Chains A and B, each alone.
Chain A
Amino acid sequence: GAGVSQSPRYKVAKRGQDVALRCDPISGHVSLFWYQQALGQGPEFLTYFQNEAQLDKSGLPSDRFFAERPEGSVSTLKIQRTQQEDSAVYLCASSSTWSGLETQYFGPGTRLLVL
Protein backbone atom coordinates (compact mmCIF):
# COMPACT_ATOMS: atom_id res chain seq x y z
CA GLY A 1 0.00 0.00 0.00
CA ALA A 2 0.93 3.66 -0.09
CA GLY A 3 1.77 3.79 3.58
CA VAL A 4 0.92 2.47 7.02
CA SER A 5 -2.70 3.06 7.94
CA GLN A 6 -4.37 2.81 11.31
CA SER A 7 -7.98 2.76 12.38
CA PRO A 8 -9.81 4.21 14.05
CA ARG A 9 -7.96 7.53 14.16
CA TYR A 10 -9.77 8.50 17.35
CA LYS A 11 -11.42 6.34 19.97
CA VAL A 12 -13.24 7.37 23.11
CA ALA A 13 -13.88 4.55 25.55
CA LYS A 14 -15.51 4.34 28.92
CA ARG A 15 -13.34 2.92 31.66
CA GLY A 16 -13.69 -0.84 31.68
CA GLN A 17 -14.55 -1.10 28.00
CA ASP A 18 -12.52 -3.26 25.61
CA VAL A 19 -10.99 -1.63 22.51
CA ALA A 20 -9.35 -2.95 19.36
CA LEU A 21 -6.93 -0.88 17.29
CA ARG A 22 -6.03 -1.91 13.77
CA CYS A 23 -2.83 -1.45 11.80
CA ASP A 24 -2.37 -2.05 8.06
CA PRO A 25 1.36 -2.08 7.37
CA ILE A 26 3.02 -1.42 4.04
CA SER A 27 2.44 -4.44 1.83
CA GLY A 28 5.27 -6.95 2.07
CA HIS A 29 6.85 -5.48 5.18
CA VAL A 30 8.14 -8.22 7.43
CA SER A 31 8.48 -6.28 10.67
CA LEU A 32 5.70 -4.57 12.57
CA PHE A 33 5.95 -2.56 15.77
CA TRP A 34 3.40 -1.09 18.19
CA TYR A 35 4.24 1.93 20.34
CA GLN A 36 2.42 3.95 22.96
CA GLN A 37 3.02 7.70 23.02
CA ALA A 38 1.91 9.80 25.96
CA LEU A 39 1.43 13.52 25.53
CA GLY A 40 4.77 15.32 25.31
CA GLN A 41 6.78 12.12 25.37
CA GLY A 42 8.53 9.92 22.87
CA PRO A 43 7.02 6.64 21.68
CA GLU A 44 7.39 3.72 24.07
CA PHE A 45 7.89 0.28 22.55
CA LEU A 46 5.08 -2.18 23.18
CA THR A 47 5.63 -5.19 20.96
CA TYR A 48 7.31 -6.48 17.78
CA PHE A 49 6.19 -8.96 15.11
CA GLN A 50 8.28 -10.63 12.46
CA ASN A 51 5.64 -11.81 10.01
CA GLU A 52 3.08 -13.57 12.23
CA ALA A 53 5.50 -14.33 15.05
CA GLN A 54 5.42 -12.04 18.07
CA LEU A 55 9.10 -12.03 18.97
CA ASP A 56 9.10 -9.35 21.63
CA LYS A 57 6.22 -8.30 23.84
CA SER A 58 8.29 -7.00 26.71
CA GLY A 59 6.83 -3.51 26.44
CA LEU A 60 3.20 -4.46 26.96
CA PRO A 61 2.33 -2.75 30.26
CA SER A 62 -0.03 -5.41 31.58
CA ASP A 63 -1.90 -8.57 30.66
CA ARG A 64 -4.79 -6.35 29.59
CA PHE A 65 -2.82 -5.59 26.43
CA PHE A 66 -2.77 -8.17 23.67
CA ALA A 67 -1.53 -7.95 20.09
CA GLU A 68 -1.82 -10.30 17.15
CA ARG A 69 -0.84 -10.51 13.51
CA PRO A 70 -2.31 -13.86 12.47
CA GLU A 71 -1.50 -13.78 8.75
CA GLY A 72 1.63 -11.71 8.90
CA SER A 73 0.06 -8.55 7.53
CA VAL A 74 -2.70 -6.69 9.41
CA SER A 75 -2.20 -6.40 13.15
CA THR A 76 -4.61 -5.68 15.97
CA LEU A 77 -3.78 -4.29 19.38
CA LYS A 78 -6.46 -5.08 21.92
CA ILE A 79 -6.81 -3.46 25.30
CA GLN A 80 -9.18 -5.09 27.73
CA ARG A 81 -10.90 -3.33 30.63
CA THR A 82 -9.43 0.04 29.67
CA GLN A 83 -8.16 2.34 32.39
CA GLN A 84 -7.64 6.09 32.31
CA GLU A 85 -3.88 5.61 32.24
CA ASP A 86 -4.27 3.84 28.88
CA SER A 87 -5.14 7.20 27.29
CA ALA A 88 -2.43 7.85 24.73
CA VAL A 89 -1.64 7.75 21.03
CA TYR A 90 -0.96 4.24 19.78
CA LEU A 91 1.44 4.15 16.85
CA CYS A 92 2.11 1.31 14.47
CA ALA A 93 5.22 1.08 12.31
CA SER A 94 6.45 -1.37 9.72
CA SER A 95 9.82 -2.13 8.21
CA SER A 96 11.00 -4.15 5.25
CA THR A 97 13.93 -5.65 7.12
CA TRP A 98 13.86 -8.82 9.20
CA SER A 99 15.17 -7.26 12.36
CA GLY A 100 13.37 -3.95 12.17
CA LEU A 101 16.61 -2.19 12.95
CA GLU A 102 16.40 -0.11 9.81
CA THR A 103 13.96 2.59 8.75
CA GLN A 104 10.50 2.24 10.23
CA TYR A 105 7.47 3.73 8.51
CA PHE A 106 4.88 5.00 10.94
CA GLY A 107 1.14 5.27 10.66
CA PRO A 108 -0.77 8.36 11.82
CA GLY A 109 -1.70 6.72 15.11
CA THR A 110 -4.89 6.07 17.01
CA ARG A 111 -5.64 8.60 19.73
CA LEU A 112 -7.35 6.76 22.60
CA LEU A 113 -9.15 8.64 25.34
CA VAL A 114 -10.48 6.64 28.26
CA LEU A 115 -13.08 8.43 30.35
Chain B
Amino acid sequence: SQQGEEDPQALSIQEGENATMNCSYKTSINNLQWYRQNSGRGLVHLILIRSNEREKHSGRLRVTLDTSKKSSSLLITASRAADTASYFCATDDTGGFKTIFGAGTRLFVKA
Protein backbone atom coordinates (compact mmCIF):
# COMPACT_ATOMS: atom_id res chain seq x y z
CA SER B 1 0.00 0.00 0.00
CA GLN B 2 1.12 3.57 -0.59
CA GLN B 3 1.40 6.12 2.17
CA GLY B 4 1.20 9.29 0.17
CA GLU B 5 -1.90 10.56 -1.52
CA GLU B 6 -1.68 13.31 -4.08
CA ASP B 7 -4.47 15.69 -4.82
CA PRO B 8 -5.73 16.31 -7.44
CA GLN B 9 -5.26 13.08 -9.38
CA ALA B 10 -5.18 15.08 -12.60
CA LEU B 11 -4.79 18.76 -13.46
CA SER B 12 -5.08 20.54 -16.78
CA ILE B 13 -3.98 24.17 -17.11
CA GLN B 14 -2.91 26.71 -19.71
CA GLU B 15 0.71 27.60 -20.27
CA GLY B 16 1.71 30.45 -18.00
CA GLU B 17 -0.68 29.52 -15.21
CA ASN B 18 0.43 28.19 -11.84
CA ALA B 19 -0.09 24.58 -10.85
CA THR B 20 -0.54 23.43 -7.28
CA MET B 21 -0.40 19.82 -6.17
CA ASN B 22 -0.92 18.51 -2.67
CA CYS B 23 0.36 15.45 -0.88
CA SER B 24 -0.74 13.88 2.38
CA TYR B 25 1.07 11.17 4.29
CA LYS B 26 0.40 9.06 7.34
CA THR B 27 3.45 8.56 9.53
CA SER B 28 6.34 10.62 10.90
CA ILE B 29 9.01 11.46 8.37
CA ASN B 30 12.60 12.70 8.18
CA ASN B 31 12.10 14.34 4.82
CA LEU B 32 9.72 14.59 1.89
CA GLN B 33 10.71 14.67 -1.75
CA TRP B 34 8.97 15.51 -5.01
CA TYR B 35 9.74 13.68 -8.23
CA ARG B 36 8.62 14.18 -11.83
CA GLN B 37 8.04 11.42 -14.36
CA ASN B 38 7.54 12.10 -18.03
CA SER B 39 5.49 9.63 -19.99
CA GLY B 40 7.26 6.30 -20.24
CA ARG B 41 10.45 7.52 -18.58
CA GLY B 42 12.20 7.28 -15.23
CA LEU B 43 11.68 9.56 -12.30
CA VAL B 44 13.65 12.76 -11.84
CA HIS B 45 14.23 14.29 -8.43
CA LEU B 46 12.90 17.83 -8.12
CA ILE B 47 13.28 18.97 -4.53
CA LEU B 48 13.74 17.67 -0.99
CA ILE B 49 12.36 19.31 2.13
CA ARG B 50 13.34 18.18 5.60
CA SER B 51 10.93 17.73 8.48
CA ASN B 52 12.28 20.82 10.25
CA GLU B 53 11.74 23.04 7.19
CA ARG B 54 8.46 24.71 6.27
CA GLU B 55 9.15 26.06 2.80
CA LYS B 56 11.72 25.61 0.08
CA HIS B 57 12.26 27.12 -3.36
CA SER B 58 14.04 25.89 -6.46
CA GLY B 59 13.63 27.92 -9.61
CA ARG B 60 9.93 27.91 -10.49
CA LEU B 61 9.19 25.35 -7.79
CA ARG B 62 7.95 26.11 -4.30
CA VAL B 63 7.38 23.37 -1.77
CA THR B 64 5.73 23.69 1.62
CA LEU B 65 5.58 21.17 4.43
CA ASP B 66 3.18 21.09 7.37
CA THR B 67 4.17 18.23 9.64
CA SER B 68 1.28 18.89 12.01
CA LYS B 69 -1.15 18.19 9.18
CA LYS B 70 1.13 15.63 7.53
CA SER B 71 0.83 17.42 4.21
CA SER B 72 2.95 19.09 1.57
CA SER B 73 2.26 21.16 -1.50
CA LEU B 74 4.19 21.68 -4.72
CA LEU B 75 3.64 24.91 -6.64
CA ILE B 76 4.92 25.29 -10.18
CA THR B 77 4.80 28.90 -11.29
CA ALA B 78 4.50 30.14 -14.87
CA SER B 79 3.98 26.62 -16.18
CA ARG B 80 5.29 25.49 -19.56
CA ALA B 81 4.18 22.73 -21.90
CA ALA B 82 7.38 20.89 -20.94
CA ASP B 83 6.09 20.64 -17.36
CA THR B 84 3.51 18.12 -18.57
CA ALA B 85 4.28 15.03 -16.51
CA SER B 86 3.24 13.04 -13.45
CA TYR B 87 4.38 14.41 -10.12
CA PHE B 88 4.94 12.21 -7.09
CA CYS B 89 5.66 12.95 -3.48
CA ALA B 90 7.84 10.49 -1.61
CA THR B 91 8.49 10.10 2.08
CA ASP B 92 10.94 8.05 4.05
CA ASP B 93 9.95 5.43 6.58
CA THR B 94 11.64 6.48 9.81
CA GLY B 95 11.54 2.89 10.99
CA GLY B 96 13.35 1.45 8.01
CA PHE B 97 14.84 2.15 4.64
CA LYS B 98 11.72 2.39 2.54
CA THR B 99 10.84 5.33 0.34
CA ILE B 100 7.08 5.50 -0.02
CA PHE B 101 5.55 7.15 -3.07
CA GLY B 102 2.06 8.47 -3.59
CA ALA B 103 -0.09 7.66 -6.60
CA GLY B 104 0.83 10.92 -8.32
CA THR B 105 -0.79 13.96 -9.90
CA ARG B 106 -0.95 13.98 -13.67
CA LEU B 107 -0.33 17.53 -14.90
CA PHE B 108 -1.16 18.58 -18.44
CA VAL B 109 -0.06 22.03 -19.57
CA LYS B 110 -1.70 23.22 -22.76
CA ALA B 111 0.32 25.43 -25.07
State the A residues within 8 Å of B (CB). 4, 33, 35, 40-45, 48, 50, 55-56, 58-59, 91, 93, 99-109
Number of A-B contacts (CB under 8 A): 61
Secondary structure of the A contact surface, majority rule: loop
Task: Pick the residue among A40, A42, A56, A100 that contacts B4 (CB under 8 A).
Answer: A42
Task: Pick the residue among A42, A99, A100, A106 that contacts B42 (CB under 8 A).
Answer: A106
The 6 closest A-B pairs by CB, nearest first: A42-B101, A106-B42, A48-B97, A56-B97, A106-B43, A45-B98
Alpha-carbon distance A41/B48, docked complex (angstroms): 21
Are A100 and B96 touching (Cβ within 8 A)? Answer: no
- Using CB atoms, name the residue of chain A closest to B91: A101
State the B residues within 8 Å of A (CB). 2, 4, 30-31, 33, 35, 41-45, 48, 88, 92, 96-104
Contacts of B43 in A (CB 8 A): 43, 91, 93, 104, 106
Contacts of A105 in B (CB 8 A): 45
Are A103 and B103 touching (Cβ within 8 A)? Answer: no
Contacts of A91 in B (CB 8 A): 42-43
Contacts of B101 in A (CB 8 A): 35, 42-45
Contacts of A108 in B (CB 8 A): 41-42
Are A42 and B103 touching (Cβ within 8 A)? Answer: yes
Contacts of A101 in B (CB 8 A): 30-31, 92, 99
- Using CB atoms, name the residue of chain A closest to B89: A42
Q: Which of A4, A42, A55 has the most CB of B within 10 A?
A: A42
Task: Pick the residue among A44, A104, A109 that contacts B45 (CB under 8 A).
Answer: A104
- Using CB atoms, name the residue of chain A closest to B46: A103
Are B48 and A48 touching (Cβ within 8 A)? Answer: no
